[in-house]
A = this chain, B = another copy of it.
């Protein structure tokens, strides 16, 4: 039995720090590295790539809308061809640091509002898929089960992987409970760790209404932007290891 654990890295910018990249890199097997459009100055990108390469953590491009002021969290009605090129730009920039670190990026995961948009917005989903297809069709894509983005990526022949969220509640239909709804976020590290263990085993987990659902995922997303989040991430990893579940990236760097 095996599972991947992924988290967002390099989300500071210049003087501003965010999250604890060093701590997260002890936990995850895949690092979604910001590419400078929503966060991530070049120093931070290089540092994240260097540390990830050293720790054997897979590198993914966390591509986003060009929106530093909004941290990529606001939908932008960008033309698909513009989005395609924005994504190529970001992948290329990060790939440069991966190369300098002696490794390669192996997957792409959209960030924030773009992640949400490609779940259902066919034009934008297709635009991101097109960017990857043009750049390197061996790159994998990471996203939510059932998203338009994964569907189109699969049709384009890209390797497709699904993720579940460690600390988010699920609706009975397998979608995430909106962040604004009560009970959307889980807080208890032990409960979260147990839930991740079930996810990794392919067992059912409890939805927000108490019903049991099955979420199929090759990766679990953890967060690291608060001390609590880092503690949760450690609890998840500890539990998985204790139970003998192998932690390995779905898209390891070529050796």
List residues of chain A with CB under 8 Å of any chain B CB.
12-18, 36, 39, 41-43, 45-46, 66-71, 73-79, 81-82, 85-86, 88-97, 99-100, 113, 134-136
Contacts and interface: CB of A to CB of B under 8 A. Distances in A.
B82 A43 contact: yes
A165 to B, nearest CB: 19
Nearest to A39: B15
Most interface-central of A14, A71, A91, A95 (chain B CB within 10 A): A14
Most interface-central of A13, A76, A96 (chain B CB within 10 A): A96
Contacts of A94: 92
A42 B96 CA distance: 16
A91 B96 contact: yes
Given A75-B77, A77-B74, A89 B14 contact: no
B70 A68 contact: no
List 7 A-B pairs, minimum CB-CB distance, nearest first: A92-B96, A16-B16, A42-B85, A15-B71, A75-B77, A93-B93, A42-B89
A100 B88 contact: yes
23 contacts: A13-B69, A14-B68, A15-B39, A16-B16, A36-B89, A41-B85, A42-B88, A43-B82, A45-B85, A46-B88, A68-B68, A70-B76, A70-B82, A77-B113, A88-B96, A89-B93, A90-B93, A91-B96, A92-B93, A92-B96, A92-B97, A93-B93, A95-B95
Contacts of A93: 89-90, 92-93, 96
Nearest to A18: B16
Nearest to A94: B92
Most interface-central of A17, A46, A79, A88 (chain B CB within 10 A): A88
A134 B100 contact: yes
Contacts of A86: 42
A225 to B, nearest CB: 9
A100 B46 contact: no
Contacts of A136: 99
A82 B43 CA distance: 6
Contacts of A75: 75-77
A43 B85 contact: yes
Contacts of A36: 89
